[in-house]
Amino acid sequence: MVTSTMVASPMTAAPLDPVTHADVAVVGAGPGGAAAAAHLAARGRDVVVLDKDRFPRDKVCGDGLTPRVIRELLDLGLHDEAHGRAEGFAVQRGLRIHGGSVAMELPWPELDDWPNWGGTATRRVFDLTLARAAQRAGARLAEQHAVTGPVWRDPSQSRVAGVAWRDAEGRTGVVRAPVVIAADGAGGPMGKHLGITRRTERPMAVAARSYYRSSRADEPWISSFLDLTDADGQLLSGYGWVFPLDDGTINVGLGLLSTSAEFGAVSYRGLLESWSAGMAGQWETTPANRVGAVKTGPIPMGFNKTPLHQRGVLLVGDAGGMVNPMNGEGISYAMEAARLAAEVVDHTLSTRRTSDLDAYDRALRERIGGYYTLGRIFTELVGDPRVMRICTTYGMPYRPLMRLVFKMMAHLTDDRPADAKDVILNSLQRLAPAA
Protein backbone atom coordinates (compact mmCIF):
# COMPACT_ATOMS: atom_id res chain seq x y z
CA MET A 1 0.00 0.00 0.00
CA VAL A 2 1.21 3.48 -0.83
CA THR A 3 1.01 5.58 2.29
CA SER A 4 0.78 9.32 1.95
CA THR A 5 -1.66 12.08 2.40
CA MET A 6 -2.31 14.07 -0.67
CA VAL A 7 -0.88 16.78 -1.83
CA ALA A 8 -1.59 19.12 -4.58
CA SER A 9 1.79 20.64 -3.83
CA PRO A 10 4.24 20.82 -6.71
CA MET A 11 6.94 18.18 -6.75
CA THR A 12 10.01 18.60 -8.83
CA ALA A 13 11.34 15.75 -10.89
CA ALA A 14 14.94 15.42 -12.03
CA PRO A 15 15.19 15.72 -15.83
CA LEU A 16 15.73 12.42 -17.56
CA ASP A 17 19.19 11.56 -18.87
CA PRO A 18 19.29 10.82 -22.61
CA VAL A 19 19.64 7.19 -21.62
CA THR A 20 17.85 6.28 -18.40
CA HIS A 21 17.62 2.79 -16.98
CA ALA A 22 14.62 1.49 -15.00
CA ASP A 23 12.87 -1.75 -14.08
CA VAL A 24 9.67 -0.55 -15.73
CA ALA A 25 8.80 2.30 -18.12
CA VAL A 26 5.20 3.50 -17.84
CA VAL A 27 3.76 5.51 -20.72
CA GLY A 28 1.09 7.96 -19.55
CA ALA A 29 0.39 9.23 -16.04
CA GLY A 30 -3.42 9.19 -16.15
CA PRO A 31 -5.22 6.99 -13.59
CA GLY A 32 -3.91 3.78 -15.18
CA GLY A 33 -0.27 4.81 -15.52
CA ALA A 34 -0.03 6.68 -12.23
CA ALA A 35 -1.64 3.82 -10.29
CA ALA A 36 0.65 1.25 -11.94
CA ALA A 37 3.68 3.40 -11.12
CA ALA A 38 2.53 3.89 -7.52
CA HIS A 39 1.98 0.16 -6.96
CA LEU A 40 5.26 -0.87 -8.57
CA ALA A 41 7.27 1.78 -6.72
CA ALA A 42 5.63 0.70 -3.46
CA ARG A 43 6.91 -2.81 -4.23
CA GLY A 44 10.43 -1.39 -4.47
CA ARG A 45 10.69 -1.34 -8.26
CA ASP A 46 12.50 1.43 -10.09
CA VAL A 47 9.80 3.02 -12.27
CA VAL A 48 9.95 5.88 -14.75
CA VAL A 49 6.56 7.22 -15.82
CA LEU A 50 6.43 9.60 -18.78
CA ASP A 51 3.57 11.88 -19.74
CA LYS A 52 3.37 14.26 -22.67
CA ASP A 53 1.53 16.81 -20.53
CA ARG A 54 2.31 18.75 -17.39
CA PHE A 55 0.08 18.24 -14.33
CA PRO A 56 -2.42 19.50 -13.46
CA ARG A 57 -4.00 19.09 -16.86
CA ASP A 58 -7.53 18.70 -18.13
CA LYS A 59 -8.93 15.42 -19.44
CA VAL A 60 -12.37 15.17 -21.02
CA CYS A 61 -14.39 13.12 -18.54
CA GLY A 62 -17.59 13.01 -16.51
CA ASP A 63 -15.44 13.14 -13.35
CA GLY A 64 -17.55 10.41 -11.71
CA LEU A 65 -15.82 8.12 -9.20
CA THR A 66 -17.84 4.98 -8.48
CA PRO A 67 -17.31 2.79 -5.39
CA ARG A 68 -14.85 0.79 -7.53
CA VAL A 69 -12.64 3.91 -7.76
CA ILE A 70 -13.11 4.65 -4.08
CA ARG A 71 -11.79 1.18 -3.27
CA GLU A 72 -8.70 1.81 -5.42
CA LEU A 73 -8.11 5.16 -3.70
CA LEU A 74 -8.34 3.48 -0.30
CA ASP A 75 -5.94 0.80 -1.47
CA LEU A 76 -3.46 3.52 -2.46
CA GLY A 77 -3.75 5.03 1.01
CA LEU A 78 -5.60 8.12 -0.29
CA HIS A 79 -8.17 8.13 2.52
CA ASP A 80 -8.94 11.87 2.62
CA GLU A 81 -9.64 11.85 -1.10
CA ALA A 82 -11.76 8.69 -0.87
CA HIS A 83 -13.85 10.19 1.91
CA GLY A 84 -14.24 13.58 0.21
CA ARG A 85 -12.23 15.39 2.89
CA ALA A 86 -9.50 16.58 0.50
CA GLU A 87 -10.03 19.76 -1.47
CA GLY A 88 -11.53 19.09 -4.87
CA PHE A 89 -13.11 15.77 -3.88
CA ALA A 90 -16.84 15.38 -3.15
CA VAL A 91 -18.77 12.28 -2.12
CA GLN A 92 -22.31 11.25 -3.02
CA ARG A 93 -24.75 8.69 -1.73
CA GLY A 94 -25.82 7.17 -5.03
CA LEU A 95 -27.52 7.65 -8.35
CA ARG A 96 -30.66 9.54 -9.21
CA ILE A 97 -31.90 8.01 -12.42
CA HIS A 98 -34.26 10.00 -14.64
CA GLY A 99 -36.39 8.27 -17.28
CA GLY A 100 -39.64 9.45 -18.82
CA SER A 101 -41.38 11.44 -16.12
CA VAL A 102 -39.91 9.35 -13.29
CA ALA A 103 -36.82 10.04 -11.16
CA MET A 104 -35.64 7.42 -8.69
CA GLU A 105 -32.88 7.69 -6.10
CA LEU A 106 -30.80 4.54 -5.77
CA PRO A 107 -28.16 4.53 -3.02
CA TRP A 108 -24.88 2.77 -3.86
CA PRO A 109 -25.39 -0.84 -2.73
CA GLU A 110 -24.41 -2.07 0.73
CA LEU A 111 -21.80 -4.77 0.09
CA ASP A 112 -18.92 -6.42 1.92
CA ASP A 113 -16.45 -6.04 -0.95
CA TRP A 114 -17.15 -2.43 -1.95
CA PRO A 115 -17.58 0.95 -0.24
CA ASN A 116 -21.18 2.16 -0.13
CA TRP A 117 -20.38 5.61 -1.49
CA GLY A 118 -19.06 7.23 -4.63
CA GLY A 119 -17.53 10.58 -5.43
CA THR A 120 -16.51 13.15 -7.98
CA ALA A 121 -13.36 15.16 -8.70
CA THR A 122 -12.28 17.05 -11.78
CA ARG A 123 -9.55 15.27 -13.65
CA ARG A 124 -7.23 18.22 -13.03
CA VAL A 125 -7.45 17.40 -9.33
CA PHE A 126 -7.84 13.62 -9.55
CA ASP A 127 -4.99 12.91 -11.96
CA LEU A 128 -2.65 15.30 -10.17
CA THR A 129 -3.45 13.47 -6.93
CA LEU A 130 -2.52 10.11 -8.42
CA ALA A 131 0.58 11.41 -10.18
CA ARG A 132 1.84 12.89 -6.91
CA ALA A 133 1.00 9.66 -5.06
CA ALA A 134 3.15 7.76 -7.57
CA GLN A 135 6.03 10.19 -7.01
CA ARG A 136 5.71 9.95 -3.27
CA ALA A 137 5.86 6.17 -3.54
CA GLY A 138 9.20 6.61 -5.34
CA ALA A 139 8.34 6.63 -9.05
CA ARG A 140 10.21 9.09 -11.27
CA LEU A 141 7.68 11.18 -13.20
CA ALA A 142 8.85 12.85 -16.39
CA GLU A 143 6.24 15.43 -17.38
CA GLN A 144 6.14 16.94 -20.88
CA HIS A 145 7.97 13.88 -22.18
CA ALA A 146 6.06 12.47 -25.15
CA VAL A 147 6.83 8.86 -25.88
CA THR A 148 7.48 8.42 -29.58
CA GLY A 149 7.50 4.62 -29.64
CA PRO A 150 8.97 1.45 -28.20
CA VAL A 151 12.65 0.56 -28.30
CA TRP A 152 13.24 -3.07 -29.30
CA ARG A 153 15.85 -5.47 -28.01
CA ASP A 154 16.51 -6.99 -31.43
CA PRO A 155 15.82 -6.16 -35.10
CA SER A 156 13.02 -8.71 -35.27
CA GLN A 157 11.19 -6.71 -32.56
CA SER A 158 10.48 -9.84 -30.56
CA ARG A 159 10.92 -8.16 -27.19
CA VAL A 160 10.65 -4.60 -25.93
CA ALA A 161 13.68 -2.92 -24.36
CA GLY A 162 12.16 0.43 -23.36
CA VAL A 163 10.67 3.55 -24.94
CA ALA A 164 11.94 6.58 -26.86
CA TRP A 165 10.83 10.09 -25.88
CA ARG A 166 10.91 13.70 -26.98
CA ASP A 167 10.50 16.48 -24.41
CA ALA A 168 8.91 19.92 -24.72
CA GLU A 169 12.28 21.46 -25.68
CA GLY A 170 12.78 18.95 -28.47
CA ARG A 171 15.39 16.89 -26.60
CA THR A 172 15.20 13.17 -27.27
CA GLY A 173 16.21 10.12 -25.30
CA VAL A 174 15.30 6.62 -24.25
CA VAL A 175 14.22 4.90 -21.07
CA ARG A 176 15.63 1.39 -21.17
CA ALA A 177 13.50 -1.13 -19.28
CA PRO A 178 12.66 -4.83 -19.73
CA VAL A 179 8.93 -4.18 -19.27
CA VAL A 180 6.76 -1.35 -20.58
CA ILE A 181 3.29 -0.47 -19.35
CA ALA A 182 1.33 1.36 -22.03
CA ALA A 183 -1.26 3.50 -20.24
CA ASP A 184 -1.34 6.20 -22.90
CA GLY A 185 -5.11 6.46 -23.23
CA ALA A 186 -7.51 5.97 -26.11
CA GLY A 187 -5.39 7.83 -28.66
CA GLY A 188 -1.92 6.96 -27.39
CA PRO A 189 0.83 5.84 -29.74
CA MET A 190 1.93 2.56 -28.14
CA GLY A 191 -0.85 0.35 -29.52
CA LYS A 192 -0.27 1.68 -33.01
CA HIS A 193 3.45 0.91 -32.80
CA LEU A 194 2.63 -2.61 -31.69
CA GLY A 195 0.29 -3.01 -34.66
CA ILE A 196 -2.80 -3.32 -32.49
CA THR A 197 -5.96 -2.02 -34.12
CA ARG A 198 -9.34 -1.34 -32.54
CA ARG A 199 -11.70 -4.30 -32.65
CA THR A 200 -14.55 -2.65 -34.48
CA GLU A 201 -17.06 -5.35 -33.52
CA ARG A 202 -16.68 -4.20 -29.91
CA PRO A 203 -18.66 -1.22 -28.67
CA MET A 204 -17.40 2.26 -28.08
CA ALA A 205 -18.99 5.60 -27.36
CA VAL A 206 -18.29 9.24 -28.01
CA ALA A 207 -19.26 11.69 -25.30
CA ALA A 208 -19.32 15.45 -24.78
CA ARG A 209 -19.12 17.34 -21.53
CA SER A 210 -19.24 20.86 -20.17
CA TYR A 211 -19.10 22.58 -16.77
CA TYR A 212 -21.74 24.95 -15.38
CA ARG A 213 -21.85 26.96 -12.18
CA SER A 214 -24.93 25.76 -10.32
CA SER A 215 -26.43 26.11 -6.86
CA ARG A 216 -27.11 22.36 -7.09
CA ALA A 217 -23.41 21.49 -7.04
CA ASP A 218 -23.70 20.21 -3.48
CA GLU A 219 -26.29 17.53 -4.30
CA PRO A 220 -25.72 14.18 -2.59
CA TRP A 221 -26.63 12.26 -5.79
CA ILE A 222 -25.09 11.93 -9.21
CA SER A 223 -27.80 12.04 -11.87
CA SER A 224 -28.18 10.05 -15.06
CA PHE A 225 -30.78 10.58 -17.76
CA LEU A 226 -32.18 7.86 -19.99
CA ASP A 227 -33.97 10.28 -22.31
CA LEU A 228 -32.95 13.81 -23.21
CA THR A 229 -35.11 16.64 -24.50
CA ASP A 230 -34.38 20.12 -25.79
CA ALA A 231 -36.06 23.39 -24.77
CA ASP A 232 -39.05 22.58 -27.05
CA GLY A 233 -39.50 19.14 -25.51
CA GLN A 234 -38.14 17.35 -28.60
CA LEU A 235 -36.44 14.03 -27.89
CA LEU A 236 -32.65 14.05 -28.46
CA SER A 237 -30.29 11.11 -29.05
CA GLY A 238 -28.05 9.75 -26.33
CA TYR A 239 -27.89 9.32 -22.56
CA GLY A 240 -26.83 12.06 -20.20
CA TRP A 241 -25.39 12.81 -16.80
CA VAL A 242 -25.12 15.64 -14.28
CA PHE A 243 -22.36 15.12 -11.72
CA PRO A 244 -21.97 17.67 -8.89
CA LEU A 245 -18.44 18.81 -8.08
CA ASP A 246 -16.67 20.22 -5.06
CA ASP A 247 -15.87 23.55 -6.76
CA GLY A 248 -19.45 24.84 -7.18
CA THR A 249 -19.84 23.53 -10.72
CA ILE A 250 -21.64 20.57 -12.23
CA ASN A 251 -20.25 18.34 -14.97
CA VAL A 252 -22.98 17.96 -17.61
CA GLY A 253 -22.45 15.48 -20.40
CA LEU A 254 -23.99 13.05 -22.82
CA GLY A 255 -22.77 10.12 -24.84
CA LEU A 256 -23.83 7.98 -27.76
CA LEU A 257 -23.02 4.30 -28.18
CA SER A 258 -21.58 2.99 -31.43
CA THR A 259 -24.56 0.61 -31.55
CA SER A 260 -27.03 3.48 -31.96
CA ALA A 261 -28.14 4.56 -35.43
CA GLU A 262 -27.11 8.21 -34.93
CA PHE A 263 -23.55 7.37 -33.83
CA GLY A 264 -21.10 9.54 -35.75
CA ALA A 265 -23.92 11.29 -37.60
CA VAL A 266 -24.71 14.03 -35.08
CA SER A 267 -22.97 17.02 -33.53
CA TYR A 268 -22.23 16.03 -29.93
CA ARG A 269 -21.58 19.63 -28.96
CA GLY A 270 -24.87 20.69 -30.56
CA LEU A 271 -26.74 17.93 -28.73
CA LEU A 272 -25.22 18.93 -25.41
CA GLU A 273 -26.08 22.59 -25.94
CA SER A 274 -29.69 21.70 -26.85
CA TRP A 275 -30.07 19.42 -23.85
CA SER A 276 -28.50 21.96 -21.48
CA ALA A 277 -30.91 24.61 -22.76
CA GLY A 278 -33.79 22.19 -22.16
CA MET A 279 -32.94 21.69 -18.49
CA ALA A 280 -31.71 25.19 -17.66
CA GLY A 281 -34.80 25.75 -15.49
CA GLN A 282 -33.85 22.86 -13.18
CA TRP A 283 -30.05 22.87 -13.29
CA GLU A 284 -29.10 26.49 -14.17
CA THR A 285 -27.31 25.24 -17.29
CA THR A 286 -27.48 28.58 -19.10
CA PRO A 287 -24.76 29.86 -21.45
CA ALA A 288 -23.95 32.53 -18.83
CA ASN A 289 -23.20 29.83 -16.24
CA ARG A 290 -21.03 27.76 -18.53
CA VAL A 291 -17.38 27.46 -17.54
CA GLY A 292 -14.99 26.64 -20.38
CA ALA A 293 -15.74 24.98 -23.69
CA VAL A 294 -17.78 21.90 -24.52
CA LYS A 295 -15.29 19.11 -25.15
CA THR A 296 -15.71 15.65 -26.65
CA GLY A 297 -13.78 12.40 -26.34
CA PRO A 298 -13.87 8.70 -27.28
CA ILE A 299 -14.79 5.98 -24.79
CA PRO A 300 -13.23 2.63 -25.84
CA MET A 301 -15.13 -0.30 -24.32
CA GLY A 302 -15.14 -4.01 -23.61
CA PHE A 303 -11.42 -4.72 -24.24
CA ASN A 304 -11.53 -3.35 -27.77
CA LYS A 305 -7.75 -3.65 -28.12
CA THR A 306 -6.18 -7.04 -27.60
CA PRO A 307 -3.95 -8.85 -26.71
CA LEU A 308 -3.36 -7.01 -23.46
CA HIS A 309 0.21 -8.28 -23.30
CA GLN A 310 2.63 -8.76 -26.10
CA ARG A 311 6.44 -8.67 -26.36
CA GLY A 312 6.91 -7.22 -22.90
CA VAL A 313 4.32 -4.43 -23.30
CA LEU A 314 1.16 -4.46 -21.16
CA LEU A 315 -1.85 -2.35 -22.14
CA VAL A 316 -3.61 -0.70 -19.20
CA GLY A 317 -6.86 1.32 -19.16
CA ASP A 318 -8.13 3.08 -22.28
CA ALA A 319 -5.02 1.92 -24.15
CA GLY A 320 -6.59 -1.55 -23.94
CA GLY A 321 -10.17 -0.30 -24.39
CA MET A 322 -11.16 -1.25 -20.85
CA VAL A 323 -14.20 0.95 -20.22
CA ASN A 324 -17.31 -0.79 -18.86
CA PRO A 325 -19.78 -0.99 -21.79
CA MET A 326 -22.73 -0.83 -19.42
CA ASN A 327 -22.01 2.55 -17.84
CA GLY A 328 -19.04 4.24 -19.54
CA GLU A 329 -16.89 4.00 -16.43
CA GLY A 330 -13.19 3.71 -17.18
CA ILE A 331 -11.21 5.16 -14.28
CA SER A 332 -11.67 2.21 -11.95
CA TYR A 333 -10.92 -0.37 -14.64
CA ALA A 334 -7.71 1.48 -15.53
CA MET A 335 -6.72 1.50 -11.84
CA GLU A 336 -7.68 -2.14 -11.24
CA ALA A 337 -5.79 -3.25 -14.34
CA ALA A 338 -2.84 -1.18 -13.12
CA ARG A 339 -2.86 -2.95 -9.76
CA LEU A 340 -2.96 -6.33 -11.45
CA ALA A 341 -0.25 -5.32 -13.95
CA ALA A 342 1.97 -4.24 -11.05
CA GLU A 343 1.56 -7.64 -9.34
CA VAL A 344 2.34 -9.56 -12.53
CA VAL A 345 5.26 -7.33 -13.53
CA ASP A 346 6.76 -7.46 -10.05
CA HIS A 347 6.59 -11.26 -10.13
CA THR A 348 8.03 -11.42 -13.66
CA LEU A 349 10.95 -9.15 -12.78
CA SER A 350 11.84 -11.72 -10.12
CA THR A 351 11.43 -14.83 -12.28
CA ARG A 352 12.85 -13.13 -15.41
CA ARG A 353 10.48 -15.26 -17.51
CA THR A 354 8.78 -12.95 -20.02
CA SER A 355 6.04 -15.50 -20.61
CA ASP A 356 4.90 -14.90 -17.02
CA LEU A 357 3.54 -11.55 -18.23
CA ASP A 358 0.79 -13.45 -20.08
CA ALA A 359 -0.82 -13.96 -16.68
CA TYR A 360 -1.96 -10.32 -16.88
CA ASP A 361 -4.09 -10.85 -19.98
CA ARG A 362 -5.47 -14.14 -18.64
CA ALA A 363 -6.34 -12.77 -15.20
CA LEU A 364 -8.06 -9.65 -16.54
CA ARG A 365 -10.21 -11.65 -18.93
CA GLU A 366 -11.02 -14.12 -16.17
CA ARG A 367 -12.11 -11.34 -13.82
CA ILE A 368 -13.94 -9.07 -16.22
CA GLY A 369 -14.26 -10.90 -19.56
CA GLY A 370 -17.64 -12.55 -18.86
CA TYR A 371 -19.08 -9.28 -17.61
CA TYR A 372 -17.87 -7.44 -20.71
CA THR A 373 -19.49 -10.07 -22.93
CA LEU A 374 -22.78 -9.27 -21.18
CA GLY A 375 -21.94 -5.59 -21.67
CA ARG A 376 -21.66 -6.07 -25.41
CA ILE A 377 -25.13 -7.65 -25.51
CA PHE A 378 -26.40 -4.80 -23.35
CA THR A 379 -25.05 -2.14 -25.74
CA GLU A 380 -26.68 -3.90 -28.71
CA LEU A 381 -30.02 -3.80 -26.89
CA VAL A 382 -29.94 -0.24 -25.57
CA GLY A 383 -28.58 1.07 -28.88
CA ASP A 384 -32.14 0.48 -30.14
CA PRO A 385 -34.37 3.32 -28.90
CA ARG A 386 -37.47 1.03 -28.97
CA VAL A 387 -35.88 -1.32 -26.42
CA MET A 388 -34.87 1.64 -24.31
CA ARG A 389 -38.37 3.08 -24.41
CA ILE A 390 -39.88 -0.23 -23.24
CA CYS A 391 -37.32 -0.44 -20.41
CA THR A 392 -37.99 3.14 -19.33
CA THR A 393 -41.77 2.79 -19.47
CA TYR A 394 -42.12 -0.59 -17.79
CA GLY A 395 -38.90 -0.92 -15.77
CA MET A 396 -38.48 2.51 -14.22
CA PRO A 397 -41.45 2.38 -11.85
CA TYR A 398 -40.21 -0.87 -10.19
CA ARG A 399 -37.63 -0.17 -7.52
CA PRO A 400 -36.41 -3.77 -6.96
CA LEU A 401 -35.84 -4.18 -10.68
CA MET A 402 -34.04 -0.84 -10.91
CA ARG A 403 -31.81 -1.81 -7.98
CA LEU A 404 -30.84 -5.01 -9.78
CA VAL A 405 -30.16 -3.12 -13.03
CA PHE A 406 -28.13 -0.51 -11.13
CA LYS A 407 -25.96 -3.19 -9.51
CA MET A 408 -25.45 -4.88 -12.84
CA MET A 409 -24.55 -1.68 -14.68
CA ALA A 410 -22.21 -0.54 -11.90
CA HIS A 411 -20.62 -4.02 -11.76
CA LEU A 412 -21.00 -4.19 -8.00
CA THR A 413 -21.58 -7.56 -6.38
CA ASP A 414 -19.91 -9.48 -3.58
CA ASP A 415 -17.71 -12.43 -4.51
CA ARG A 416 -19.38 -14.50 -1.80
CA PRO A 417 -22.88 -13.11 -2.01
CA ALA A 418 -25.43 -13.17 0.74
CA ASP A 419 -27.96 -11.52 -1.54
CA ALA A 420 -30.00 -13.29 -4.24
CA LYS A 421 -29.43 -10.41 -6.69
CA ASP A 422 -25.67 -10.96 -6.45
CA VAL A 423 -26.06 -14.70 -6.98
CA ILE A 424 -27.98 -14.03 -10.20
CA LEU A 425 -25.52 -11.42 -11.45
CA ASN A 426 -22.43 -13.46 -10.57
CA SER A 427 -23.87 -16.54 -12.29
CA LEU A 428 -24.62 -14.56 -15.45
CA GLN A 429 -21.04 -13.28 -15.52
CA ARG A 430 -19.63 -16.76 -15.02
CA LEU A 431 -21.83 -18.26 -17.73
CA ALA A 432 -20.98 -15.61 -20.32
CA PRO A 433 -17.87 -16.49 -22.33
CA ALA A 434 -14.96 -14.16 -21.50
CA ALA A 435 -14.48 -11.29 -23.98
What's the rounded Cα separation, in Å, for the pair 18 and 27? 17
For residue 336, the minimal CB distance to ligand FAD (Å) is 11
What's the rounded Cα separation, in Å, for the pair 97 and 271? 20
For residue 159, the minimal CB distance to ligand FAD (Å) is 21
Q: State which residue has the least CB distance to ligand FAD.
A: 330
For residue 423, the minimal CB distance to ligand FAD (Å) is 27
What's the rounded Cα separation, in Å, for the pair 411 and 368? 9
Q: Between 37 and 111, name the residue whose CB sits nearer to ligand FAD.
A: 37
For residue 172, the minimal CB distance to ligand FAD (Å) is 13
What's the rounded Cα separation, in Å, for the pair 231 and 131? 41
What's the rounded Cα separation, in Å, for the pair 274 and 279? 9
Query: Which residues share a beta bridge with 25?
Result: 48, 180
For residue 383, the minimal CB distance to ligand FAD (Å) is 18
> H helices within 43-168, ranges in order?
67-75, 79-82, 123-137
For residue 405, the minimal CB distance to ligand FAD (Å) is 18
Query: Which residues share a beta bridge with 255?
Result: 207, 239
Chain contacts with ligand FAD (rule: CB under 6 A): 27-33, 50-53, 59-64, 146-147, 183-185, 188-189, 207, 209, 253, 297, 299, 317-319, 323, 328-332, 334
Q: Between 109 and 416, name the residue whose CB sits nearer to ligand FAD.
A: 109
Q: Between 306 and 354, name the residue whose CB sits nearer to ligand FAD.
A: 306
Closest CA to 343 of 320, 359, 362: 359
φ, ψ dihedrals at 71, nearest 5°: -60, -40
Which value, in Å, is the radius of gyration of the alpha carbons in the chain? 21
What's the rounded Cα separation, in Å, for the pair 314 and 190? 10
Q: Between 310 and 354, name the residue whose CB sits nearer to ligand FAD.
A: 310
Q: Between 312 and 325, name the residue whose CB sits nearer to ligand FAD.
A: 325
What's the rounded Cα separation, in Å, for the pair 262 and 393? 22
Q: Between 115 and 328, name the residue whose CB sits nearer to ligand FAD.
A: 328
